[in-house]
Amino acid sequence: MSLTTLATQVLNGVSFGGLLFLVSSGFTLIFGLLRVVNLAHGALYLVGAYVGIATYTATSSFVLGAAAAAGSVALLGIGLERTVLRRVRGRELSEVLLTVGVSLVLADLCLALFGGDPKQVDVPSALAGSVTLGGFAYPRYRLFVAALAIALAVVLYVLTQRTKLGATIRAGVDDREIANALGVDISRVFTGVFAFGAALAGLAGFIGGGMLAILPGADVDILLLALVVVIVGGLGSVKGAAIGSLLIGLIDAFSKAWIPDLAYFTVFAPMALLLLLRPSGLFGKAA
Amino acid sequence: MLSVTDLHVAYGGAGVLRGASLEVREGETLGLLGRNGMGKTTLVKAICGLRPPTIGSGSIRLDGVETTGWSSLAIARRGVGLVPQGRRVFGSLTVEENLRVVARSSADGRLPAWDVPAVYDFFPRLAERRRQASRVLSGGEQQMLAIGRALVTNPHLLVMDEPTEGLAPAVVDLIADRLRELCRVGIAVLLTEQNVDLALEVSDRIAVLGDAGTVAWQGTAAQLRADPVPLHEHLGV
């Protein structure tokens, strides 16, 4: 393998890992606070992609498309949390099954509204084309996705570790009963975090549409990878989601280049191995 | 301030409180004594709106407002500051964050206002530890933090559930000293204690929970010091 191919595969892995981080960070944030494994997260990704593409097509503004994707799915998340999930809070099986049901409904609604043909985001000219890096060309958009993920990681770190809001969220994770009994409205924090996590999924759908095809089934594919990421990184840990995304992105890129027939095996085998050795993931807290 | 009238609370089917009544007056410290299992923590939980106790009947009033069955959030915002049993500090937060996330000002101007620097003055040890994660603090330091955390919510009534449980004697002395100081500034306190000497020392009045799930004896701490018979009778000390 030449140095150029190696560098290309590394960048493929990093940029795909970046997209995975956009999806899995929201997933893991929601789990960390609400203890809900939101299996509708993939469907939120798909809704965001379709809404974003429709807005982008109508307005020719990429930024508006991204804003519509994140905003609409945030609202959807608020509705979901306040009307559906709140009724079964604390009943794990009901919560998980409800999110599965919601994801099926959303996926079917998408099929009815937006059809079954694959769609893509035609990236704006500022992000299109390729950049020449030390003698080889690499798609500019993929670098943009990687940069966006890094920026998000920094924002999330500062938000959770350096702000009062972040401390409040962590207090809710530590002991929500006592936080409530000291006058902190944890249920409002819950809704806010759910909306934020959902917005990230919606944004990821639209951004991902510039790299991957958006079509029925894309929700399940991305959900599966996000699950692998958070299982590897440790459920509830944003740091784990970042490392896990990078790891799975790289594994995916190299295995597709070297042994494409085993693409799924190479992603799931390390996860299975890790589950045997460290059941709570790289950065997860033991239950 | 706080009045509990004829409170019945069942816990997992069994009645723990069967008609308990007590009162905490403005600016006083009420020591709540009783053997383990007599329902001290159950009473505290009922007052603060924590589950699981289910209130069967009776009434809890704060400043004359009926708060029976309110959520713990609403009760906290009504001016009750809880120092829970077992301390329960937010372990992944630093000392300073523990205080900042709950700090809020009080509408009531009668009591001295508590903010984060005031808590550091009150417990200088916490100021030294302000940047440390609270899970690595010693038990005594965590207890100071739990008290400070309740104070920065600027409560009218401070509810402390066994604040000296499991602490070394030297630390108990320090906490006792701070409790006396709190009594002096005039905040109303409901204090449950296993440590009878400490409760007698810092409380204005004492209520003793007895076997029947009611308050078996109520009076001033001075009375009880002069004539400790009710202590022998209900606590076996």
Domain ranges of chain B: 2-235
- Cβ-based neighbour number of residue A120 at 10 Å: 14
| Cα torsion angle, A181, A183, A185, A189, sign | negative
**pLDDT averaged over every residue in chain A:** 92
pLDDT at B12: 66
pLDDT tier at A133 (50, 70, 90 boundaries)?
confident
Cβ contact, residue pair A179, B104, below 8 Å: no
Cβ contact, residue pair A174, B90, below 8 Å: yes
pLDDT at A198: 97
> Could you identify the residue written with the tokens 């959303």?
A106
- List of chain B residues whose C-beta atoms are within 8 Å of the C-beta of residue A168: 101
Contacts of A230 (CB under 8 A, 6+ apart): A24, A27, A28, A31, A236, A240, A241, A244, A281
Pick the more confident residue, B41 or A206: A206
Residue A281, phi-psi category: left (phi > 0), alpha (psi -120 to 50), beta (remainder): left
Poorest-confidence range of A9-13, A179-183, A277-281, B132-136? A277-281
The predicted-structure confidence for A188-223, as pLDDT tens digits, reads as follows: 998 999 999 999 999 999 999 999 999 999 999 999
DSSP code per residue over A1-19: --HHHHHHHHHHHHHHHHH
pLDDT tier at B109 (50, 70, 90 boundaries)?
low
| Residue-range domain boundaries for chain A | 3-277
The ipTM of this complex is 0.91
d(CA A230, CA A170): 18
Poorest-confidence range of A229-238, A249-258, B8-17, B47-56? B8-17
d(CA B148, CA B153): 9
Helices (H) and strands (E) in chain A, counts: 11, 2
Average pLDDT value for residue range A159-180: 92
pLDDT at A189: 92
Contacts of A177 (CB under 8 A, 6+ apart): B50, B72
Nearest by CB to residue A177, choosing from B50, B97, B98, is: B50
Q: Say what the pTM is.
A: 0.86
pLDDT at B108: 64
- List of chain A residues whose C-beta atoms are within 8 Å of the C-beta of residue B81: 182
A81-99 b/e with 16+ CB inside 10 Å = b? beeebeeeeeeeeebeebb
Query: What fold characterizes domain A3-277?
Result: ABC transporter involved in vitamin B12 uptake, BtuC (1.10.3470)
A281 pLDDT more than 70: yes
What one-letter code names the amino acid at A239? Answer: K
pLDDT tier at B87 (50, 70, 90 boundaries)?
very high
Q: Establish if A162 touches chain B: CB-CB under 8 angstroms.
A: no
Class of CATH domain B2-235: alpha beta
